[in-house]
Chain A
């Protein structure tokens, strides 16, 4: 086994779809929270395999998408300063701020570099001791331990020219916001498998109990997602509301203890602004006081930036499962991945961008 191709097997996918069809009597609205899962669902056209009673809606689990415009503007401002080497995950480069993006900073002569891992940014800092190296630390709990490790190692080595612009977000507070809303439509959740690989799933057991709703930890391949949907449907049809783990080849109840230890060492929980949604209490990480010397926000003091989102954009409703991308009058016309208007169109993992890229699967979206 290679733990990849097996889970893209069309025969298994068809069998799972048939099992779901045989089981469904009611109408159920299910949400996957993770943008990687949204992308798989649209890429493989999974909604087409499902019976009409099952509606999939797509949560705010794309960290690139929910990074506030203000933070993108701050990154652009820092990256444009003379001498600075600005290092980022590739996905962030084409995300527009209110007036520019990191690609344009690079085109105008800024030293903006793409890294696959935060450890590459550390290496760049070691090689350029006379220049400030700033890493754009975004992501959910999956990415936070790696970013934390980079900061921890920088401190340990006494690397004084390395800092991080931190914009980390956490999944459970977003789920709580969606489920706690009086207009909530979601009846079952697919929990994010890689976040849970790090964090374990105890927080999701609590959510399942608190909101009396089934949650299944799911993987990222089409067979994983169909199996997770089948498990949710079975729970809903039987009137159960439990936490189940479809992605057991990677996820255990307690997750990775060393990963959580380094996160706790370097980060502390803070309230964060989510682009397209607004502020959510205790929903992200910032660097602890002990790591203030590595905090790009403090070092560069980029100040308060206030930006207005376009009034027409319905990303907030899309990311809470209340609307579909195709319900937006701007979708695919005034708002496209090349010229995105709002959060869920800016990254290929955003629901609007995934709908746009794979719109051959969506009858309503074929113009």
Chain B
């Protein structure tokens, strides 16, 4: 129920009372409400739940933590299957 799917903002439209975005989810484009992520702009990734973006993906942070994970995977000896 609390599922949220990451997608990339292709364009934004300001309607005054609300802000909408065209968001690409791996090839499928949907309209998303951007009211809760005023900082998100075209090109940013957002996590979308029931038609609303609930957060902007912190891409630098994601890259940094992912690199740490990759390093861990390289350092860990392979487990016997």
Bound complex: CA of A364 vs CA of B3, how far in Å?
A: 29
Chain A residues in 8 Å Cβ range of B2: 34-36, 61, 63, 139-140, 142-143, 192, 194-195
Contact across chains for B52 and A1 when beta carbons are under 8 A apart:
no
Determine the chain B residues whose CB is within 8 A of the CB of A17 once the complex forms. Answer: 79
Q: Inside 8 A of A220's CB, which chain B residues have their CB?
A: 3-4
Instruction: Evaluate whether A223 and B50 lie within 8 angstroms (CB atoms) in the complex, with A35-B2, A63-B1 already known.
Output: no
Chain B residues contacting A145 (CB-CB under 8 Å) are 36, 52, 54
A119, B61: Cβ atoms closer than 8 Å = no
Q: In the complex, which of the residues B1, B57, B73, B79 contacts A139, with contact meaning CB atoms closer than 8 Å?
A: B1
Q: Contact check, B1 vs A140: say whether CB atoms are below 8 A apart.
A: yes
Contacts of B63 in A (CB 8 A): 1
User: Chain A residues with Cβ under 8 A from B37's Cβ?
Assistant: 256, 258
Question: In whole Å, how far is B27's beta carbon from the nearest beta carbon of chain A?
Answer: 11
How far apart are B8's CB and chain A's nearest CB, in angstroms?
8
B76 proximal to A (CB < 8 A): yes
Within 8 A of A (CB), among B14-56: 17-18, 26, 33, 35-38, 45, 47, 49-52, 54-55
Of all chain A residues, which has the CB nearest B74?
Answer: A15
With CB as the reference atom, state the residue of chain A lying closest to B26: A2
A177-204 CB mask vs B (1 if < 8 Å, else 0) is: 0000000000000001011011000000
CB of A62 closer than 8 Å to a CB of B: yes
Least CB distance from B32 to A in Å reads 9
Task: Jot down 29 A-B pairs with beta carbons below 8 A, ordered by A.
Answer: A1-B62, A1-B63, A2-B26, A12-B70, A15-B69, A17-B79, A19-B72, A34-B2, A35-B2, A64-B1, A117-B51, A119-B33, A120-B51, A138-B1, A142-B54, A145-B54, A146-B33, A149-B52, A194-B3, A194-B54, A197-B54, A198-B36, A249-B58, A249-B61, A250-B57, A250-B58, A258-B37, A259-B52, A262-B35
Residue numbers of B with Cβ under 8 A of A are 1-6, 17-18, 26, 33, 35-38, 45, 47, 49-52, 54-55, 57-59, 61-63, 65-66, 69-70, 72-73, 75-77, 79
A-side residues, CB < 8 A to B, are: 1-4, 6, 11-12, 14-19, 34-36, 61-64, 89, 91, 116-120, 138-140, 142-143, 145-146, 149, 153, 156, 192, 194-195, 197-198, 220, 223, 227, 248-252, 256, 258-259, 262, 347, 349
